[in-house]
Structure 1
Amino acid sequence: MNRLAHWLLAFGVLYGSSLQAAEAERCELITLADVGWTDITMTTAVARLVLTDLGYRTQVKRLSLPETYQALAHGNVDVFLGNWMPAQAQLVDPHLQSGRIEKLQTNLPTVRYTLAVLEPAYKAGLQDFADIHRFKDELGGQIFGIEPGNEGNGMVKTMIRENVFGLRDFTLVESSEKGMLNHVERAQQMGRSAVFLGWEPHPMNDRLKMFYLSGGDKYFGPNYGAAQVNTVARGGFTNDCPNLAQLFRNMTFTIAAENQLMSSVLEGNTNRRRVAKKWMNKNPEMVNSWLVGVNKRSE
């Protein structure tokens, strides 16, 4: 019997509960969305391990952010652990208001997402969104984003299109989380600067000499893009799958936990399942807290 199974027994996770009987048959297979960010990929990997030990089957769909919300709204995906707010408000709010998507929990209450800059330009005076245009030559007229369709990319594109902060002559470079980080790390090694989408939790905050820019409140929110991450589900999920809804309401993380999960992957460990299991075995108290009031699925 593995350690997670011991935890389940310790918390009275029993077969045949009335709550389990009330679950719809469609809850046997849970589909989670993954947009490819390391933090969401790893929290999703952890969730899959917990669900498997509880007797559920799982699958993951790799989707862009807009595709994720469309899939949730149409019931083609059950749960997404990466609803960053307020940055994603434009994508998700209409569906929340209509009831086609429901919020289950804030799984990480204090995060950050906005534009950041490397140390050389920051020390030279690039400390606010309004400063970026003055450093066009040093930056090569480029701002580095992540995958196409990401809401942060969209906000930068709007600023460029509408010449907000004098950014008309800039270009947004879209690639991926890994591609963006590779470019920024090379720039740091060469003593150059770069403006890019930055967020925490993420090991980039330790690996890069980076500073978040002020002045982007209208686009990324106040306090240097302070935000929260929510777990959202398709509309009707709580009614259909009350046992699972309880699990996802219990499932919260910390910045330290997510940094630990991401660091191993970014350091080259490609077996995400193994990384997730190792982390869970080292953090039984957190896993235990997720299982309170949750029942194991009947065979």
Structure 2
Amino acid sequence: MKKTLTILLITAIFLGSFSMFTLAQDSDDVIKLADSNWPGLRGKNAIVKYILDNVGYKVERTTATDPMLRQGIIQGDMDIYLGTWMPSLKESRMKNQDKQHLVTKNMHTGSLGMAVPKYVAEQGVDSLADLHKYADKFDKKLYVGPSGWVYDGMLRKAQEDNTYNLKDWELVSSSPAALWSQLDKAINEKKWIVWAGWKPHWMNTVYDMVYLDDPKTIFGNKYSWVETITRKGFPEEHPEVTTFLKNFIITSETQSLLSYEIGQNEKDVDKFAEKWVKDNIYKVDSFLSLVEAPNGEPAIDILRKNIGMDK
């Protein structure tokens, strides 16, 4: 009998130790956010990181280009990506839907397309179909932002089909900072330029610009939205974080604010995230509705306590 009790006691201690070891492993898990140089995405990631950090999770951001980040989700190297612009990336997402998990739309009512300064539009350019008529004035260049981004692929396909007679035009790829520099220079000198534009973004506030019609719909539906995706298996491993991500939905106005303050005003992204959370704590309450912290307590209570905003 004593031998049996001893065996049971040892087994219980072993199982208890194993459970504690497993919990320690879980608490040490680092959640990896896919980040980029886009100020709107950087802002969203900073807010998500600030909230999760103060709820009790360990979070880190990895910065890369959009194609690399999406590939990181597919390969399981990244956990969360808040920057899937749709419907422009629909084909890619559908192709890899068994390798990733769609959580929600985190921003609605966006749009994308090619844009020109208002002074160019006033000269008779209001559609992509008009570009070839003024090819020399545009120096046959389309400024499309980072290589591999959605515009790059769509315009290359349009060139293959010679849509809008763009076959011989040069696609000028660059970092976002370089794109704004090129744009500033051209507008200051009243030169003709056509570039990749989208809403929400601070450019729509800073520049007097006009979006060109796309009658052949090379960009698909001009209205867009942004989706949150995770790697396969993440929702099962982190159900509480996934509930938070389902709730994390912002307006296009908030997205524009993030983009403007971080991209144009060059505010520190983490300090801005902290201020935004504290200024919008009741909105954050809704983000954390029915979400438990790693210690089992309501996540919003832990967050409020850790940031000095106890009810």
Could you say which TM-score interval applies, normalised by the shorter chain?
0.7 to 0.9
1:240 paired to 2:237:
yes
> Do 1:23 and 1:241's aligned partners in 2 also have CA atoms closer than 8 Å?
no
Structure 2 counterpart SS, 1:219: coil
> Do 2:27 and 2:57's aligned partners in 1 also have CA atoms closer than 8 Å?
no
Q: State the alpha-carbon separation in 2 of the partners of residues 68 and 249 from structure 1.
A: 20
Structure 1 counterpart SS, 2:246: helix
Q: Identify the match of residue 251 of structure 1 among 248, 253, 258.
A: 248
1:87 paired to 2:84:
no
The Cα of 1:43 is off from its aligned counterpart by: 0.5
Structure 1 counterpart SS, 2:277: helix
Q: State the alpha-carbon separation in 1 of the partners of residues 84 and 249 from structure 2.
A: 13
* Residue pairs, 1:153-192, within 5 angstroms: 153-192=152-191
Q: 1:178 to 1:216 in 2, by over 3 A?
A: farther
Q: How many residues align?
A: 275
The Cα of 1:295 is off from its aligned counterpart by: 1.1
Q: State the alpha-carbon separation in 1 of the partners of residues 291 and 131 from structure 2.
A: 50
Equivalence for 2:223 = 226
Q: State the alpha-carbon separation in 2 of the partners of residues 80 and 41 from structure 1.
A: 11
The Cα of 1:218 is off from its aligned counterpart by: 3.1
Q: State the alpha-carbon separation in 1 of the partners of residues 135 and 179 from structure 2.
A: 18
Equivalence for 2:307 = none
Higher mean C-alpha displacement, 162-171 vs 212-221 = 212-221
The Cα of 1:26 is off from its aligned counterpart by: 7.9
> Do 1:69 and 1:91's aligned partners in 2 also have CA atoms closer than 8 Å?
no
Q: State the alpha-carbon separation in 1 of the partners of residues 275 and 259 from structure 2.
A: 13
Equivalence for 1:66 = 67
Name the amino acid aligned to 1:148: S
Equivalence for 1:260 = 257
Q: Give me the TM-score of the superposition, normalised by structure 1.
A: 0.86
Higher mean C-alpha displacement, 58-67 vs 286-295 = 58-67
Deviations 1:115-153 (A, max 9, x none): 111112211111111111111111111110111111211
Q: Percent identity?
A: 24
Return 5+ residue gaps in structure 1 as ranges: 1-20
Equivalence for 2:132 = 133
Q: 1:85 to 1:22 in 2, by over 3 A?
A: farther
> Do 1:120 and 1:192's aligned partners in 2 also have CA atoms closer than 8 Å?
no
* Residue pairs, 1:1-299, within 5 angstroms: 25=26, 28-96=29-97, 98=98, 100-215=99-214, 218-222=217-221, 225-298=222-295
Higher mean C-alpha displacement, 48-57 vs 83-92 = 83-92
Q: State the alpha-carbon separation in 2 of the partners of residues 216 and 115 from structure 1.
A: 12
Structure 2 counterpart SS, 1:49: helix
Which 4+ runs in 1 deviate beyond 6 A?
21-24
Equivalence for 1:12 = none
The Cα of 1:282 is off from its aligned counterpart by: 1.8
Structure 2 counterpart SS, 1:87: coil
Pairwise CA RMSD = 2.1
Q: Give me the TM-score of the superposition, normalised by structure 2.
A: 0.83
> Do 2:110 and 2:223's aligned partners in 1 also have CA atoms closer than 8 Å?
yes
